[in-house]
A and B are shown apart, each in its own frame.
Chain A
């Protein structure tokens, strides 16, 4: 993977609420290499969004507590001042969000929304920014870019809007693009187009990508490495082929078993993972997966630590040998 571009260490995000502290993210660590596509998977509520929003300090709740360190280009992002952070957002690290229908401002022309960050960060004139925006629209595959530049979001389909979001994200040629479930709201065929687009852009622009999804099907075709999240923790971290061939954590196995397989000769029925994730307010003192796990033993009362089982494969479970 070479040298890491981004290193997240022991990240915690907690929300104090009237009912108690919501422990949304509980000590996650990972690194992102240059030009790497890292997928973060996990069911909804597992802390994927909060985990990446906190990197750019974009969590709306003011009283949320973020701990740990996030190293990017020699600085800890969690320690930056507000202006320093703004300098980075959209410029060096860009984000694309889940719902393209609501993530674009309905009353502004899309051209404006694409060029906004270039004007902000590079201080270029409107005219140059406009030609840049049209270039970007072409890059993400929007036909008649020169004309479409002046249109409003409601004049585009969902897939087109997500392309526009990606174009806006790419405007300053960021080193990292964080995409939070960018295709969840789209049709499968459009999903495939967006994924191809991101792979192409990674090759051409050479950026790194953090791709959040709850869809393992997407991960297989896109990512280099995968982090599986459960209840605010990374429970397994591995290159994509290793995870699919030899999943170690019972939760990862459950996720894979719940996927339909085209090559399945066996008549084995799809398995759903029984039960619900733990309450994040009364976070269990045991292994958080304990209640849903069929391999549980006495030992699981003590929460497991992340362990390397090969040089590239890490798991957070006491029972990896037995599995």
Chain B
């Protein structure tokens, strides 16, 4: 098992290397550069100076080697958009906020989504089931910034119950600067779509498992419905759920530009867009590598989760019998 995990981590390194090459060559082959004049013209000498300062006058392969030799030492360079800080500092500062938004959203989306899914599965075709299906179809089809606008209109503008934006600056918080009133709207807006997916997937997985023979066996033993559900249904329903729902996690913890700009949250989400638009090469590289890393780790974790849920799965071993 340990050997297997080491192998997977090595493979992840190789993937990061491949991603870095692809992203680097793609971003340099897109027309336009970070210091193209948009407003006034720069004197050619000054422009040459800037390019030289950032090493952009060298051939691309040299720039790549230069970048990677720093990157392996966790020096990801200086963002062109904010030359007074470093990429590492900028990402750690803005990602810290995005992770707060993301994790809270994950807890809300998965918590309510799973509960709603279980309830709907156990009350098939009841009005609650219909409601869950309806709300989750809406949740999947309506974009989160539209939901965000409606929430702001209702709860901030009309009712004036909650702040319109910000993150941890409303002054009304549960703990220190965490879990504040201004967390509620962004988290709800952000959570609706994943919650809908989680609810639908949970319902489908449970309904499928409830029809299995071993669930009938469990009932025939005289177990109560609660025990049948906890010991037999949910344990097995977890298996398909891990596969489908794990993939929501990296998306949620890397933030959404829509949510962050709607609610004026200084998170990482916006840099995915602005660094590409500004040809901010160091930021592009860093954000892409971060996403690739998170996905790689996620897949590793879901595979490890399988081995804990399902004894038939043995990582890296040839299958028994």
Given A86-B223, A88-B222, A120-B222, do A104 and B217 touch, yes or no (CB 8 Å)? yes
What's the interface size class on A, roughly?
A: 20 to 34
A108: chain B residues at CB < 8 Å are: 231-232, 235
Interface residue A58 (Cβ < 8 Å from any Cβ of B): yes
Given A103-B213, A105-B236, A154-B311, do A94 and B218 touch, yes or no (CB 8 Å)? no
Closest to B232 in A: A105
A41: chain B residues at CB < 8 Å are: none
A95: chain B residues at CB < 8 Å are: 217, 220
Given A97-B216, A116-B221, A120-B227, do A154 and B235 touch, yes or no (CB 8 Å)? no
Q: Is the CB of B220 within 8 A of A105?
A: no
Q: Is the CB of B222 within 8 A of A89?
A: yes
Q: Is the CB of B309 within 8 A of A107?
A: yes
When chains A and B are docked, how far (Å) is the Cα of A153 from the Cα of B219?
Answer: 18
Interface residue A320 (Cβ < 8 Å from any Cβ of B): no
A120: chain B residues at CB < 8 Å are: 221-224, 227
When chains A and B are docked, how far (Å) is the Cα of A60 from the Cα of B218?
Answer: 13
Q: Is the CB of B222 within 8 A of A97?
A: no
When chains A and B are docked, how far (Å) is the Cα of A117 from the Cα of B219?
Answer: 10
Q: Mark A89-116, 1 if CB is under 8 A from B, else 0.
A: 1110011010100111111100001001
Q: Is the CB of B214 within 8 A of A103?
A: yes
Q: Is the CB of A102 within 8 A of B213?
A: yes
Q: Is the CB of B211 within 8 A of A154?
A: no
Shortest CB distance A112–B (Å): 8
Q: Is the CB of B221 within 8 A of A117?
A: yes
Q: Is the CB of B321 within 8 A of A107?
A: no
B223: chain A residues at CB < 8 Å are: 86, 90, 116-117, 120
Shortest CB distance A126–B (Å): 14
B310: chain A residues at CB < 8 Å are: 106-107
Given A86-B223, A87-B222, A116-B221, do A58 and B311 touch, yes or no (CB 8 Å)? no
Q: Is the CB of A152 within 8 A of B312?
A: yes
Interface residue A165 (Cβ < 8 Å from any Cβ of B): yes
When chains A and B are docked, how far (Å) is the Cα of A99 from the Cα of B214?
Answer: 10
When chains A and B are docked, how far (Å) is the Cα of A195 from the Cα of B120?
Answer: 43
Q: Is the CB of A90 within 8 A of B311?
A: no
Q: Is the CB of B220 within 8 A of A56?
A: yes
Interface residue A234 (Cβ < 8 Å from any Cβ of B): no
Interface residue B212 (Cβ < 8 Å from any Cβ of A): yes
Given A87-B222, A90-B222, A165-B217, do A152 and B311 touch, yes or no (CB 8 Å)? yes
A44: chain B residues at CB < 8 Å are: none
Interface residue A121 (Cβ < 8 Å from any Cβ of B): yes
When chains A and B are docked, how far (Å) is the Cα of A104 from the Cα of B321?
Answer: 17
Interface residue A168 (Cβ < 8 Å from any Cβ of B): yes
When chains A and B are docked, how far (Å) is the Cα of A91 from the Cα of B320?
Answer: 35
CB interface residues, A 147-166, toward B, < 8 Å: 152, 154-155, 165
CB interface residues, B 216-246, toward A, < 8 Å: 216-224, 227, 231-232, 235-236, 239
16 residue pairs from A and B, CB less than 8 Å apart: A58-B219, A88-B222, A89-B222, A90-B223, A95-B217, A103-B214, A104-B217, A105-B217, A106-B236, A106-B310, A116-B221, A116-B223, A117-B221, A152-B311, A155-B321, A168-B221
Interface residues of B (CB under 8 A from A): 211-214, 216-224, 227, 231-232, 235-236, 239, 309-312, 320-321
Interface residues of A (CB under 8 A from B): 56, 58, 60, 86-91, 94-95, 97, 99, 102-108, 113, 116-117, 120-121, 152, 154-155, 165, 168
